[in-house]
Amino acid sequence: MYDVAVVGGGLVGSSFALSLIKQNPQLKIVLVEQRKPDFSTNQDGFDNKIYAISPHNLEMLMTLDIKPNTERFGTIQSMNVRGDRNSKIEFDSHDCNSRYLAKIIEYRNLQQSILAELEQFSQVEFVYGTLNEIWDNDSVILKGDDFFLQAKWLVAADGANSFVRRKFDFTVEQIPYYQSGVVANFKCEKPNLNVAHQWFTGDGILAYLPLPNNQISIVWSTDRVEELLALSNEEFAAQVANESNYELGQLEVITRPAAFPLRLNLVNDFVRGHIILIGDAAHTIHPLAGQGVNLGFGDAWELAKVLAHTNAQPDAATLSRFVALRLAEVRKMQMTCHMLHRLFHNRNQIVNLVRNFGLNLVNNLTLLKKMLIRSAMTY
């Protein structure tokens, strides 16, 4: 019997397993992932899944001895956010005594480095296949088409549509945004100078995230998905450049656009019996502040600590403390992003005036601005 079965080998599940085995090498762990990832094209072009990782989480990842290709990282040195009436807020890494605000990292680059380190541990087994049945009695039985496993604990990191969460009827409130996040990568006419830009345009949010060599990754939260995905590369690049008022000049598509539906998932509890939810299985968030996977890493570090220190035998009180701690962090960030989205998606003229006034006000209140940045960076 395994001590812990982790379902989902995405960034959260794999980093949780690695953190756990590093802290307690006595444990027996199995990682169940439906698809064996193919990293053979990692050096070609750029992945379309690219995330802003906070300094705190990158530091935590690097302490796990992972070796991602850092030359492919982008760096956010400063950030420039604009409202829809010439309002703006600007901040810089110096505002919070940090060398950078976030690193822009490809999913596959990071995942490859985490799995490579995890493979060094003989106590960790990998099973590739889809989990499609679970029973939880004194221990957990997991069944897939080609596997049958038994573990003391099942940690579900199987993403926003979590099979495990649905199977065990965790209560989840879902709030759709009726928008998708359109992502793509571009080569730019002008240098990005390690500045991230974000425009709240009233009917959408467009973000430019700096990549090396004057390239950028974009996330465009919009309801014009079908129309945008039907465009040719040239037409799409022209639309994005126009939306940003040609901030970095003309753009050239280097990674075709893809779209991910956006919704807020609020789960009230992360633990039921021997089942524990982490990452997107436990919570999703609007990507406007780039905090989704950062919150998932927070769950991973905290749960790994709890299971490692208790030899995978935590009592109910310890697990309740874990849930309370993570729920407080997650809710704070979910609500902040949700309110910001509601505020900037509102067409009322008075709300429009107030939000733009608010943005300028925060920009001028140096202390408040620093507090906000520091709190976002510690996730």
Ligand X SMILES: Cc1cc2nc3c(=O)[nH]c(=O)nc-3n(C[C@H](O)[C@H](O)[C@H](O)COP(=O)(O)OP(=O)(O)OC[C@H]3O[C@@H](n4cnc5c(N)ncnc54)[C@H](O)[C@@H]3O)c2cc1C
Site for ligand X in 114-133 (CB under 6 A): 130-131
Structure tokens at 275: 């089942």
From the list 115-123, 269-277, 293-301, 348-356, the region that binds ligand X by CB under 6 A is 293-301
If one asks whether residue 8 binds ligand X (CB under 6 A), the answer comes out as yes
If one asks whether residue 294 binds ligand X (CB under 6 A), the answer comes out as yes
Tell me which H or E stretch contains 79.
strand 78-82
If one asks whether residue 12 binds ligand X (CB under 6 A), the answer comes out as yes
Q: Is the CB of 9 or the CB of 314 nearer to ligand X? A: 9
If one asks whether residue 74 binds ligand X (CB under 6 A), the answer comes out as no
Picking from 222, 136, 146, the residue whose alpha carbon sits closest to that of residue 184 is 222
DSSP 162-224: -HHHHHTT--EEEEEEEEEEEEEEEEESS--TTEEEEEE-SS-EEEEEEETTTEEEEEEEES-
DSSP 113-125: HHHHHHTT-TTEE
From the list 61-69, 197-205, 238-246, 286-294, the region that binds ligand X by CB under 6 A is 286-294
The four Cα atoms 46, 49, 55, 58 give a dihedral, to 10 degrees, of -80
Site for ligand X in 213-242 (CB under 6 A): 219
Contact at 8 Å (CB) between 200 and 84? yes
The strands making up 215-222's β-sheet, listed across from edge to edge, are 88-92, 78-82, 195-200, 205-211, 215-222, 172-188, 251-267, 283-284
Residue selected from 68, 83, 181, 298 as contacting ligand X according to rule CB under 6 A: 181
From the list 1-9, 62-70, 224-232, 329-337, the region that binds ligand X by CB under 6 A is 1-9
From the list 92-100, 236-244, 283-291, 345-353, the region that binds ligand X by CB under 6 A is 283-291
- Minimum Å gap between C-beta 378 and ligand X is 13
If one asks whether residue 378 binds ligand X (CB under 6 A), the answer comes out as no
If one asks whether residue 9 binds ligand X (CB under 6 A), the answer comes out as yes
Contact at 8 Å (CB) between 76 and 101? yes
Structure tokens at 162: 């979590």
Q: Is the CB of 130 or the CB of 346 nearer to ligand X? A: 130
Q: Is the CB of 87 or the CB of 217 nearer to ligand X? A: 217
From the list 27-35, 242-250, 309-317, 363-371, the region that binds ligand X by CB under 6 A is 27-35
- Minimum Å gap between C-beta 49 and ligand X is 7
If one asks whether residue 298 binds ligand X (CB under 6 A), the answer comes out as no
Q: Is the CB of 52 or the CB of 140 nearer to ligand X? A: 52
Q: Is the CB of 169 or the CB of 315 nearer to ligand X? A: 169
- CA separation, residue 61 to residues 18, 39, 53, 185, 278 (Å): 9, 19, 10, 25, 17
Alpha-carbon distance 12 to 107, whole Å? 11
Alpha-carbon distance 141 to 220, whole Å? 41
- Minimum Å gap between C-beta 275 and ligand X is 13
Q: Is the CB of 183 or the CB of 312 nearer to ligand X? A: 183
Residue selected from 21, 293, 308, 327 as contacting ligand X according to rule CB under 6 A: 293
Runs of H (alpha helix) within 217-272? 225-229, 233-243
Q: By rule CB under 6 A, what count of residues binds ligand X?
A: 32
Alpha-carbon distance 182 to 314, whole Å? 41
If one asks whether residue 163 binds ligand X (CB under 6 A), the answer comes out as yes
- Minimum Å gap between C-beta 377 and ligand X is 12
Backbone angles phi and psi of 134, in degrees to 5: -145, 140
Residue selected from 6, 7, 31, 228 as contacting ligand X according to rule CB under 6 A: 7
If one asks whether residue 47 binds ligand X (CB under 6 A), the answer comes out as no
Picking from 313, 297, 299, the residue whose alpha carbon sits closest to that of residue 66 is 297
The four Cα atoms 210, 198, 250, 230 give a dihedral, to 10 degrees, of 100
- Minimum Å gap between C-beta 351 and ligand X is 25
Residues that bind ligand X (CB under 6 A): 7-13, 32-35, 51-52, 130-131, 157-159, 163, 181, 183, 219, 260, 279-280, 287, 290-294, 296
